[in-house]
Structure 1
């Protein structure tokens, strides 16, 4: 009935797999867990031996998009539960909550993200602060605009719907594909439900890497804008950029980025980064890249 699919790269998923497996064992339906070691260079997986659990090892890294496609092709059940390797269910009712959601008339169900309240060390605070403010959102709010906050690290989807949507995403190892995935869900009128069934996000990277990923996600979004691959969407950043472009203000934000880039980065890489500064950085970075005609 349920295929739990976990792509991983150099990340120990033993705790995650053990926790999910224990909940599945207490359920009254058929299940399988498939872990795809996507070209990992170190062996951190000790989940072998669990019932209904399969470990697949790729020699070469194929990236998140193709890894998920490969997992879906191996799945034997109609409902797919995708989990990122660096998460952990928040409650012991995690599987029960998703099982209850299956009974509802929706095509995809998103459980949400959570972050521990204790502030981490300064070197990783940017990702924690951004996630706590922009990703840790209750289902009641997410359901008001169901395609706006789409986090693919924790979601349930019908297999035929996943194949319809995800196979449209081009082969790329970049970041920011949740935005495109959300746009495809909206463009295809997929019935989406959000529930409060969070996973804790454990893989909080260093500030420099976090900012780099924000830049890469922005470039991915800009790429889909330039190629007109995104038609219907609810992405705030892209909506703002489209408005600035329409009113011919991209040059102004591009100039702003050129002047204040260094001071903005200084704030974002500090121990007290401002999420407002991050949002300004993202839109001005997008405008600057667009105006320069940089290939994305």
Structure 2
């Protein structure tokens, strides 16, 4: 009935898999856990290979890194059962009824999203920005997420019928970090697939060091711009603000100011305690216009 699918890259997943295995072993329905390693460095693979000895757990390694989209498609193709639970490898589960909560809500044309949580205690300073952003922007109860069910779709913790994944696979042209989940949510909405949000979160444990995390946000914005060019109806809050400012002509006047202040804003995000995330919002608008100016003429804006 349920295939639990975990793409793995450079992360030790033993605790997660053992927790899932313990819960799954108590279910009355059929299940499996599939781990697909995306060509991690060998020491990570050595650590995770032993999980293949658990009954119902299947571990496999790719020889070349294929990226976040393709690896999920490969897992979906390998899955034996009709419902697919995708989890990120850096997840933690602290709810004893995590799997049974999902099983009680399964439906043939419904996607289930459980949400995300973070540890309540701030991490070391190097990881604080990622944690702060997550707690302020990503942790939202199901009641709030239901108000805009397709907005901010996250792939770290969701169940999708295998038949839906067959018709709407992840876009494998998205090979760098960011917004393959935004596109997937947009495609679900276009296809009329219902999304049901639940309060069934997983902990996001694997935080990025602040400088690396901020650079990933810049890369994600480049992806977002390209995806918007291909799908003009795809929207995020950053896109909406950028389009509004661009079309009114205001952005050309403020870009010199944005350029002058961008490094200062980045430093404040990296080093301030409880940094003002509005600065990140401004940086995203700046990065969108930056990539637009580099790739397109103003007259070509959709």
TM-score surpassing 0.5? yes
Q: Which residue of 2 aligns with 1:26?
A: 26
Aligned to 1:134: 137
C-alpha displacement of 1:201: 0.1
| 1-structure distance, mates of 2:132, 2:108 | 35
Residue deviations 1:74-97, cap 9 Å, x none?
Answer: 001110000000001231110011
Question: Any idea what the Cα deviations from partners look like across 1:105-154, whole Å, max 9, x if unmatched?
Answer: 75200000000111111111111011111110000000010011211010
C-alpha deviation, 1:244, in angstroms:
1.8
Q: Could you tell me whether the CA contact under 8 Å between 1:79 and 1:158 is conserved in 2?
A: yes
Tell me if structure 2 keeps the 8 A contact 1:106–1:193: no
Q: CA deviation at 1:269?
A: 1.1
Alignment: residue pair count: 292
Written as runs of structure 1 = structure 2, the 5 A alignment for 1:211-222 is 211-222=214-225
**Does the CA-based 8 Å contact 1:180-1:230 persist in structure 2?**
no
Q: Secondary structure at the match of 1:240?
A: helix
Q: Mind listing any 5+ residue stretches in structure 1 that lack a counterpart?
A: none
1:256 paired residue number: 257
Taking a change above 3 Å as real, the CA distance of residues 145 and 21 of structure 1, as seen in their structure-2 partners, is same
Alpha carbons 1:125, 1:271 under 8 Å: kept? no
TM-score by length of 2: 0.92
Q: Structure 1 residue 55 and structure 2 residue 82: aligned?
A: no
Q: Which residue of 2 aligns with 1:69?
A: 73
- Asked if structure 2 preserves the Cα contact closer than 8 Å seen for 1:65 and 1:173, the reply is no
Tell me the equivalent position of 1:180: 183
User: Where does structure 1 differ by over 6 angstroms across 4 or more consecutive aligned residues?
Assistant: none
Q: What SS does the corresponding residue of 2:71 show, helix, strand or coil?
A: helix
What is the distance in 1 between the residues matched to 2:136 and 2:187? 25
Alpha carbons 2:122, 2:128 under 8 Å: kept: yes
Q: Which residue of 1 aligns with 2:281?
A: 279
Alignment of structure 1 residues 147-226 onto 2, 5 Å: 147-226=150-229
State the TM-score, normalized to the length of structure 1. Answer: 0.93
For structure 2, list consecutive stretches of 5 or more residues without a partner in the other structure: 298-302
Contact 1:177 1:217 in 2 (8 A): no
SS in structure 2 of the partner of residue 269 of structure 1: helix
More displaced stretch, 123-132 vs 104-113: 104-113
Range moving further from structure 2, 283-292 or 81-90: 283-292
Is the contact between residue 11 and residue 85 of structure 1 (CA under 8 Å) also seen in structure 2?
yes
